[in-house]
């Protein structure tokens, strides 16, 4: 059945498809960045041109499916289906499957140099751990499943509306445009570099024992084994074994003291993690709220390496829309600038994430947000609202993106991951 349509020179076509086939089509079209109607058009065109009829497809349970095709293509399709003595539903299913077979899922584009993202701020309580976990989860999500993502233009809308405290600046920015996109499917290691072990605890892992091996020991030049043996997998089907965690140990409280006796101490974190890099596309380091030697080592680890494009690795700074975050930001950036100058390093700023934002807190929040937006370099790359789902996920010791995958915070984390990709 067809009906006139306003979609250019196309006509609306209504038929049926099995739910599983429609879902595969939806995901694959998104993976290739084309519209579903274009994929169906290409599939039908290829099916009509076949020399023989493909094998039958199980169409049991097929339900309504509508799309738009070029004028005349559906009539040509029906003629071919009649000649081949197959139903329109079967012919359409074969056409869609043919397109899927000839357009396989694209390979995940992996960086030539493992990306190193240092999530930092000297001030505690801004939510560095939540941003580290959420960003890592978004980078590792299933590439064969669609996930709701806030579209890029919506970040600008959110910043303007929230800073101005307009009606669009609601608690969760619910009015912002969202689209369903495939997961990024990257291999991600989360490094808990904070002696408080928040990232370790939030993801349901156990902090490493004080009398055992740890990242601190490896950085201090006193390893007790292979660092790889300490890594645990974040077991959730949406990450498919791609998301791992290097747990923290409380001995990291002593790290600055131990590093003071280490030669080339700025490179201590890199020496420890370098053997792991071949197994991962991205390594995210959840830094402690400190401006000591450990932060120097983290910033050095995030420096731009030879052959690496600008903006692939570097510092992701987490702040809140209040005055004390601005003071801490100044201290942190001064430290990074000193390290840049003293060691002649290229350390890129990946951006600022304004976390735990709530415009209902009034002028302090909105004016502070405007202050972050006005910085420009580094620019604001994420705005994450202060909502209950993150706190609930922490209480349940589950990843946010599996606990509440459609929440506004999860949608924002996916947008953030793409902004810095």
> pLDDT per residue over 81-124, tens digit each?
999 999 999 999 999 999 999 999 999 989 999 999 999 998 88
3-state SS assignment for residue 149:
strand
Q: Provide the pLDDT for residue 152.
A: 62
pLDDT at 290 over 90: no
Residue span of the structural domain in which 30 resides: 2-102
Asked if residue 110 belongs to a domain, the reply is no
Mean pLDDT score across all residues of the chain = 91
CA 366 to chain centre: 26
- Kindly state whether residues 253 and 221 are assigned to the same domain: yes
Could you give phi then psi for residue 75, rounded to 5 degrees? Answer: -65, -40
Nearest to 340 by CA among 283, 293, 294, 302: 302
Residues 69 and 178 reside in one and the same domain: no
Top pLDDT among 112 and 361 is at: 112
Asked whether residue 19 falls in the same domain as residue 139, the answer is no
The side-by-side arrangement of strands in the sheet containing 10-17 is 2-3, 10-17, 63-70
Q: For residues 92 and 240, state if they share a domain.
A: no
Q: How confident is the model over 122-156, as pLDDT tens digits?
A: 888 899 999 999 999 999 999 999 999 987 655 66
Check residue 224 and report its DSSP letter: -
> Does 165 have pLDDT greater than 70?
no
Q: What is the per-residue pLDDT across 173-200, written as a single tens digit (0 to 9) for each?
A: 444 688 999 999 999 999 999 999 999 9
Main-chain phi, psi angles of 405, to 5 degrees: -65, -20
pLDDT above 70 as % of the chain? 92
Q: Are residues 284 and 346 in the same domain?
A: yes
Is position 322 within any domain?
A: yes
CATH of the domain at 95: 1.10.1220
User: Number of helices (H) and strands (E), helices first, in the chain?
Assistant: 16, 13
What local confidence, expressed as pLDDT, does residue 159 receive? 66
For residues 42 and 136, membership in a common domain is answered with no
Supply the DSSP symbol for 305. P
Distance CA 391, CA 247 (A): 20
Whether 109 is in a domain gets the answer: no
Q: Write out pLDDT tens, residues 47-63.
A: 999 999 899 999 999 99
152 shares its domain with 177: yes
State the pLDDT at residue 171: 44
* pLDDT value of residue 169: 43
Q: How confident is the model at residue 410 (pLDDT cuts 50, 70, 90)?
A: very high
Q: pLDDT by residue (tens digit) across 64-87?
A: 999 999 999 999 999 999 999 999
In a domain, 135, yes or no: yes
Average pLDDT over residues 319-346: 90
Which tops the pLDDT comparison, 9 or 282?
Answer: 282
Domain boundary among 36, 71, 102: 102
Query: Which element (helix H / strand E) includes 101?
Result: helix 88-102
Higher pLDDT, 46 or 171: 46
Task: Give the pLDDT mean for 315-344.
Answer: 91
Half-sphere exposure of 157 (CA within 13 A, CB side): 14
Statement to judge: residues 122 and 172 lie in one domain: yes
Decide which of 42, 77, 102 is a domain's last residue: 102
* Residue 189: strand pairing partners: 244, 283
Q: From residue 203, how far is each of 25, 132, 402 by CA, in Å?
A: 33, 11, 11
The answer on 134 and 197 residing in a single domain is yes
Chain-centroid distance, C-alpha 389? 17
- Same domain assignment for residues 264 and 157: yes
Gap between the Cα atoms of 393 and 201, Å rounded? 11
Residues 98 and 119 in one domain: no
Tell me what pLDDT residue 153 has: 58
pLDDT > 90 in the chain, percent = 76
Q: Domain for residue 107, yes or no?
A: no
CA 189 to CA 231: how far, in whole Å? 9
Residue 108 lies in a domain: no
Q: Residue 319 contacts by C-beta under 8 Å, 6 or more apart in sequence? A: 121, 123, 126, 325, 326, 328, 329, 352, 353, 354, 355, 372
Tokens of 245: 């965690």
At 328, the pLDDT band (50, 70, 90 cuts) reads confident
- Dihedral of CA atoms 351, 356, 361, 366 in degrees, nearest 10, equals 10
- Check residue 358 and give its pLDDT: 86
Whether 120 contacts 292, CB under 8 Å: no
d(C-alpha 236, C-alpha 140), whole Å = 11
Q: Within a domain: residue 20?
A: yes
Residue 282: which of 112, 164, 398, 163 has the closest Cα?
112
243 SS3 class: strand
Mean pLDDT (whole number) for 213-229: 95
Is 97 in the same domain as 148? no
pLDDT band at 170 (very low <50, low <70, confident <90, very high): very low
Residues 175 and 168: their CA atoms lie apart, in Å, by: 7
Which residues on neighbouring strands pair with residue 117, listed in sequence order?
Answer: 284, 314
Per-residue pLDDT, 125: 85
Number of structural domains (the chain) is: 2
Final residue of a structural domain among 102, 135, 153? 102
pLDDT at 158: 61
């Amino acid at each position: 059945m067809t009906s006139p349509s306003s979609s250019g020179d196309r006509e609306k076509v209504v038929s049926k498809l099995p739910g599983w086939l429609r879902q595969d089509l939806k995901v694959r079209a998104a993976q290739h960045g084309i519209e579903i109607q274009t994929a169906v058009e290409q599939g039908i065109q290829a099916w009509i041109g076949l020399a023989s009829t493909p094998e039958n497809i199980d169409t049991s349970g097929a339900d309504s499916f509508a799309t738009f095709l070029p004028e005349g293509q559906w009539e040509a399709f029906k003629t071919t289906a009649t000649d081949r003595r197959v139903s329109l539903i079967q012919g359409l299913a074969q056409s869609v499957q043919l397109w899927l077979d000839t357009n396989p899922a694209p390979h995940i584009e992996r960086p030539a140099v493992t990306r190193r993202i240092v999530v930092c701020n000297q001030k505690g309580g801004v939510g560095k751990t939540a941003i580290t976990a959420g960003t890592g989860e978004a980078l590792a999500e299933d590439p064969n499943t669609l996930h709701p993502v806030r579209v890029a233009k919506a970040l600008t809308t959110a910043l303007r509306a929230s800073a101005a405290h307009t009606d669009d600046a609601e608690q969760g920015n619910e009015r912002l445009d969202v689209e369903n996109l495939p997961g990024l499917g990257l291999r991600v290691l989360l490094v808990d570099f904070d002696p408080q072990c928040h990232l370790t605890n939030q993801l349901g892992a156990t902090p490493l024992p004080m009398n055992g091996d740890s990242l601190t020991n490896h950085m201090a030049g006193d390893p007790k084994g292979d660092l790889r043996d300490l890594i645990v997998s974040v077991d959730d089907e949406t990450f498919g074994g791609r998301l791992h965690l290097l747990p923290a140990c409380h001995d990291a409280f002593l790290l600055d003291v131990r590093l003071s006796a280490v030669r080339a101490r700025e490179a201590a974190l890199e020496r420890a993690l370098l053997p792991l890099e071949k197994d991962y596309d991205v390594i995210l380091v959840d830094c402690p709220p400190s401006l000591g030697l450990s932060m120097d080592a983290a910033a050095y680890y995030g420096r731009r390496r030879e052959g690496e494009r600008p903006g692939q690795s570097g510092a992701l700074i987490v702040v809140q829309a209040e005055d004390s975050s601005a003071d801490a930001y100044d201290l942190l950036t001064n430290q990074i600038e000193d390290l840049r100058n003293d060691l002649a390093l290229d350390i890129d700023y990946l951006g600022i994430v304004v976390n735990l934002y709530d415009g209902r807190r009034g002028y302090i929040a909105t004016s502070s947000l405007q202050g972050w937006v006005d910085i420009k370099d580094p620019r604001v790359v994420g705005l994450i609202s202060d909502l209950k789902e993150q706190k609930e996920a922490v209480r349940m010791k589950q990843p946010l993106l599996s606990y509440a995958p459609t929440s506004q915070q999860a949608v924002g984390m996916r947008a953030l991951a793409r902004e810095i990709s």
